[in-house]
Amino acid sequence: MAGRTTAGDTAHGAVGGGAMKKRYFVDERSGCLAVRDCNNTDIEYLGLHPDTKGVVKYWDSHQVFETCPTCNHEKFAGYEIDEDDINEAIDLCYKLNQDNKQGEP
pLDDT, tens digit, 9 for 90 and up, residues 19-78: 457 899 999 988 899 999 999 988 888 889 999 999 999 999 999 999 998 998 999 999
Closest Cα to residue 6, out of 78, 105, 70, 95? 95
Q: Please check the confidence at residue 12 and state whether its pLDDT lies above 80.
A: no
The pLDDT value recorded for residue 20 is 56
Q: Please check the confidence at residue 1 and state whether its pLDDT lies above 70.
A: no
Q: Please check the confidence at residue 13 and state whether its pLDDT lies above 50.
A: no
pTM of the model: 0.71
Beta bridge partners, 57, equal: 35
The pLDDT value recorded for residue 6 is 45
Beta bridge partners, 25, equal: 36
What is the full DSSP assignment across the chain? -TT---TT-S--EEETTEEE--SEEEEEETTEEEEEEGGG--TT-----TTSTTEEEEEE-EEEEEE-TTT--EEEEEEE--HHHHHHHHHHHHHHHHHHHHH--
Residue ranges covered by each domain of the chain: 13-103
The pLDDT value recorded for residue 102 is 65
